Amino acid sequence: MSLQDTKQAIKHQLTSIYETLEINSIVNILIEEVTGWDLLHQNIHKSDALTEAQITILDTHVQELLTGKPLQYIIQKAWFMGKSYWVNEHVLIPRPETEELVEWIIDYANIVNKPLSILDIGTGSGCIPIALQLALPNAKISSIDISKAAIEVAKKNAQTHEVAIEWIEQDILQTKQLKERYDIIVSNPPYIPIREKAAMQKQVIEFEPEIALFVSDHFPLLFYSKIAQLGKTALKPNGQLFFEIHFDQGEKILSMLDEMGYHGELEQDIYGKDRMVRAGLKN
């Protein structure tokens, strides 16, 4: 069977759970992972037959996709700000919205124009601190996560991208005081109320780590409140909090931060949804 026929066969199998555009992208990525051929070379070799071993691997991957398992976990690779990150079931798959948060921080850092000390809380794959370190090589960056397994993933990604970051295994909710002071504290914490779980995609709720996604319906702003409280003593003069947020929590977070002595501002993502907050202590 030629490569072209193999691709058509895979696309046919995936039509039950994916849209056409998404299927095309998935198939091209799978073929590149198995053969090493990018799209140009896939077109050049479209009449070539794959080896038996390659067909076996592809079939295994397709069967995993049909269970709802995300492509990124199957190939153990995700992309963030144009770079590849190793991922597994212990960490969230990086999202485009989080890229916008990182870009906002980079823009702010360029305006400040000095070496910054930055703390990332809830590192996951390490995409936020690593992307910041790559863009801001003079920054000193530390990162906290409650999960030892997540930190191991982040460490591997840091080695791949050749950046030095301090990794700290710590439960931020049990932290009474941060050990240092920072110019920036950034977090993309759990923020999805558990009540929304039933309406979410199978690929998310059955495969991504719940600890990194969900928070109690009773107090969905738990992590923001805790981090803001720690920030009162951990932020340097003119220091800033940067948060990724749930699209419907923006005004509530701004109100909470105002009551805690912060002045905050809300930023929308490319889809026009409230997605990020920046806040500094009032003078």
Give the least confident one: 71-75, 78-82, 178-182, 203-207. 203-207
Strand pairing class (274-281; 262-268): antiparallel
Digit-coded pLDDT (tens) for 89-114: 999 999 999 999 999 999 999 999 99
pLDDT-based confidence at 8, cuts 50/70/90?
Answer: very high
Q: Is the pLDDT of residue 276 over 80?
A: yes
The helix or strand, by DSSP H or E, that contains position 193, with its residue range, turns out to be strand 192-193
CA–CA separation, 102 vs 265, rounded Å? 16
CATH of 89-281, one of 3.40.50.150, 1.20.140.10, 3.20.20.80, 3.30.2350.10: 3.40.50.150
pLDDT-based confidence at 20, cuts 50/70/90?
Answer: confident
Note the pTM of the prediction, 2 decimals: 0.93
pLDDT-based confidence at 69, cuts 50/70/90?
Answer: very high
CA–CA separation, 201 vs 83, rounded Å? 25
Residue for token digits 């950046």?
163
| Per-position b or e across 140-163, b if 16+ CB within 10 A of its CB | bbbbbbbbeebbbbbeebbeebeb
CA–CA separation, 67 vs 61, rounded Å? 10
Task: For residues 230-249, give the mean pLDDT.
Answer: 96
pLDDT-based confidence at 127, cuts 50/70/90?
Answer: very high
